[in-house]
Chains A and B, each alone.
Chain A
């Protein structure tokens, strides 16, 4: 079976979906319109399309809602294969759909890692009937060990465009240069770096600063990010290969990327909702749910990340959705694994923390969540809009005014490690449509739950 994109797909295509009464927002601007979906593609966008609609068309009410291109996450840990107790491709994809996503880039730090064509093919096959498109990221180096190059070409043949050793920083400058040079032969490939110098981080478990000193927790200095970003920007200039900086967390790195972009370098960058929302003060109670790499930083860093998103220095909002089993997150702070959930709260945090206070317009926010990451990952042929006849119907419908409280027990993710438990947020996903098929209807996954 072949989907509307020409790519293999097992998604059954709904007979027709009418999204009615919403405000369409995409890169071309806002307008009030109905959206008619047929055969997995957008058939019509316009004024009242309900008149004369044949029976059998599923009508999704979008009154009071924004109808946007489906969100695209550049940074999702699905944990399969290897830690299916924390998350599976299918539970992670359902969490993504609930969060308004129609595509996620699956990070390759699984066990075994995505450094091998057979493993990538297996993940793609498992993801074919998931609630969002599962796009495989690939390792830069074998075993993410930072020494030998992974079979970048073979992975590229399978559709991999984002290469990263994420979770580990590719700290050897020689290997990084070689990967970037080799990637020039792979159209659309981007080398994505987890920028934290391991030598400066040591066994650090939180941001190095006043809080780490008070708590007696070994720190990870801001400079550990900055020195790798600065080095990689020079290597990007040397090689001409597109560089993507994952989860930028420091004011220093934001400034370096801003300068590099001004100089015309092919660099993109992302920020996470937790880095633009929380600070290292959250670690004061030693709850490992707040432990993440790179760590939560100071208020000044958080504000710099917000400013970077506002002026476009940071292109994308990515979740770094990192599920962990509850017992793993109940280990002592210094021993617990880093990472936090993100897929089901990212849109609402963006609206609450950035759009509501006026730092970003709604169009900017959706650009960072949808069409800009789609472009970085080479998915613009089917994700990120624009919402126009002929386009693949990957859509997200959300109520920008709905308020809700984050309840870890009600997440679609298999894991519970959200740092936002109990937080009241504005903006809630109502429907998600994947290649014409509703995956979320009225806030619930189409397969129940």
Chain B
């Protein structure tokens, strides 16, 4: 049984295949009735131990457009409240007969643990500060749709709360697979304690990269993970590492601006920039549904071979 737990589960061919699948599903989502019977009879469970709007809805929309049956497990009103363990919860759900579980959890590695306990496919929809692989797949798809399928050598800066960001960990890996050159931009308190083995460089100085990047990816300050203790104030963070209107004006022409959402408007990104012409933020959300269709289809259709390892 195959899972998508980490970008490490993919090689370049598998990533390319998912992007190609997503392109075809983007065509489906443009139809009058944006639905195909590909996963009819399959059951997909969404199991979210953290609040989420876009990721949960995106996965559920994707599953429904593939005609899968979707079970939404609301942790807040479940036996988890009665102290049921993660293992008991997933095995109870699995006993009902499921094909895939999409899981988000505040602890790193939770999806990996689930994958050891159930036969169903496990899709990691974000585990603590570890990974969020479908976000990286949709981010790289979005970039490729603008800059052509070959993005090797493309210069990408990822700015802000890298340390607490599962998006950054997945994005760095996916971008490196495609040959992009990644620079992390943050104070050391927001960078990982070690970058040994990371295929990227890092700098404290946003000003120094503004003029020569092709893509600027902003990260949300993870206020729920106490990120604010890592710098003196939001005001000081914005002054040094926020994409203000002034800084946006100094970006090279054609530089794309991205944010995985949800945004802290006025903190990591100025509202005018988020809603401005360089911003791909709405498009990221749009592409997210197609990526998740591709992942679910790839895992559940028993489709042609190729690189979904793990």
- Which chain A residues have a beta carbon within 8 Å of chain B's beta carbons? 208-210, 212-219, 221, 285-287, 327, 330-335
Spot the interface stretch: B128-136, B231-239, B246-254.
B128-136
User: Contact: B169 with A216, CB < 8 Å?
Assistant: yes
A-contacting residues, B195-254, CB 8 Å: 195-198
Query: 5 closest Cβ contacts across the A-B interface?
Result: A286-B109, A332-B107, A216-B130, A216-B129, A213-B192
A286: chain B residues within 8 A (beta carbon): 108-110, 112-113
A327 closest partner in B (C-beta): B85
Question: Does B193 lie within 8 Å of A331, measured CB to CB?
Answer: no
CA separation between A101 and B255, bound complex, in Å?
A: 68
> A217 contacts B194, CB within 8 Å?
no
Verify A334–B108 contact, CB threshold 8 A: yes
Bound Cα distance from A315 to B106, whole angstroms:
41
List of B residues within 8 angstroms of A333 by Cβ? 107-110, 113
**Interface flags, B112-147, vs A, CB<8A=1, else 0:** 110000000000000111110000000000000000
Bound complex: CA A212 to CA B195 (Å): 10
Render B75-101 as a binary contact track against A, CB cut-off 8 A, 1 for contact.
Answer: 000000000011110000000000000
Can you offer 12 A-B residue contacts whose CB atoms are under 8 A?
A: A209-B194, A209-B196, A215-B108, A216-B128, A221-B193, A285-B112, A327-B87, A330-B86, A330-B87, A330-B113, A332-B105, A332-B113
Closest Cβ–Cβ distance, residue B110 to chain A (whole Å): 5
CB < 8 Å neighbour of B193 from A208, A332, A334, A335: A208
CB-CB under 8 A for A217 and B129, given A210-B196, A210-B197: yes
B85, B87, B108, B113 interface centre (most CB from chain A within 10 Å): B108
Minimum distance in angstroms from A292 CB to a CB of chain B: 16
- Bound together, the chains give a CA A145 to CA B108 distance in angstroms of 29
A333–B130 Cα distance when bound, in Å, is: 12
A219 CA to B129 CA, complexed, in Å = 12
Contacts beyond the supplied A217-B109, A332-B128: 19 A-B pairs with Cβ under 8 Å: A210-B194, A213-B192, A214-B197, A216-B130, A219-B193, A285-B109, A285-B112, A286-B109, A287-B113, A327-B88, A330-B86, A332-B86, A332-B105, A332-B107, A332-B108, A332-B110, A333-B107, A334-B109, A334-B128
The size bracket of the interface on B is 20 to 34
Report Cα–Cα, A286/B113, bound state, in Å.
7
Main secondary structure of the interface of B (DSSP, over half): loop
State the CA gap A209–B196 with chains docked (Å). Answer: 9
* Majority SS at the chain A contact face: loop
Q: How far in angstroms is the closest Cβ of chain B from A332?
A: 3
CB closest chain-A residue, reference B85: A327
In the complex, the answer to whether A217 meets B108 with C-beta atoms within 8 Å is: yes
Complex: A262 Cα to B225 Cα, angstroms: 44
Assuming A327-B85, A330-B85, A330-B87, is B194 touching A216 (CB within 8 A)? no
Contact in complex: B194, A213 (CB < 8 Å):
yes
Q: Is the CB of B109 within 8 A of A215?
A: yes
B292 within 8 A of A: no
Minimal Cβ-Cβ distance residue in B for A336: B107
Residues of B within 8 A of A218 (CB): 129
Given the complex of chains A and B, what is the CA–CA distance between A332 and B109 in angstroms? Answer: 7
Q: In the docked arrangement, what's the CA distance between A334 and B109, Å?
A: 9
Chain A contacts for B127, CB-based, 8 A: 216
Asked whether A331 lies within 8 Å of B130 as measured between CB atoms, the reply is: no
Residues of B within 8 A of A221 (CB): 193
- B166 at the binding interface (Cβ < 8 Å): yes
Roughly how many angstroms separate A219 CA and B197 CA in the complex, as a whole number?
17
Partner of A215, one of B105, B113, B130: B130
Most chain B Cβ neighbours within 10 Å, of A210, A213, A219, A221: A213
How distant is B201 from chain A, measured CB to nearest CB, in Å?
15
Q: Which of A209, A286, A287, A332 is packed against the most chain B CB atoms within 10 Å?
A: A332
**Which residues in A have their C-beta under 8 angstroms from that of B85?**
327, 330-331
**Using Cβ atoms and an 8 Å threshold, which residues of chain A touch B131?**
216
Complex formed: what's the CA distance from A217 to B86 in Å? 18
Q: B128: which A residues are within 8 A, CB to CB? A: 216-217, 332, 334
Q: Are B130 and A217 in contact (CB under 8 A)?
A: yes
Residue in chain B with minimal CB distance to A283: B109
A335 B107 Cβ-Cβ under 8 A: yes
| Cβ contacts under 8 Å, B192 to chain A | 213
Q: Within 8 Å CB of A287, what residues of B?
A: 113
**Chain A nearest CB, measured from B108 CB (Å):** 5
How far in angstroms is the closest Cβ of chain A from B171?
Answer: 13
Q: Which residues of A contact B129 (CB under 8 A)?
A: 216-218
Chain B residues with Cβ below 8 Å from A331 are: 85-86
In the assembly, what is the distance between CA of A210 and CA of B193, in Å?
Answer: 8
| B169 neighbours in A (Cβ, 8 Å) | 214, 216
Contact in complex: B195, A213 (CB < 8 Å):
yes
**Using Cβ atoms and an 8 Å threshold, which residues of chain B touch A217?**
108-109, 128-130
Cα–Cα distance between A221 and B193 once the two chains are bound (Å) = 9
Report A301 CB to chain B, min CB distance, Å: 14
With A217-B128, A332-B110 known to touch, is A212 a contact of B87 (CB < 8 Å)? no
CA distance A215 to B127 in the complex (A): 10
Provide the bound-state CA to CA distance between A287 and B109, in Å.
Answer: 8
Complex interface: chain B residues within 8 A of A285 (CB) = 109, 112
List of A residues within 8 angstroms of B110 by Cβ: 286, 332-333
Residues of A within 8 A of B86 (CB): 330-332
Residues in A whose Cβ lies below 8 Å from that of B87: 327, 330
A76 to B113, CA, bound (A): 29
Min C-beta distance of B105 to chain A, whole Å: 6
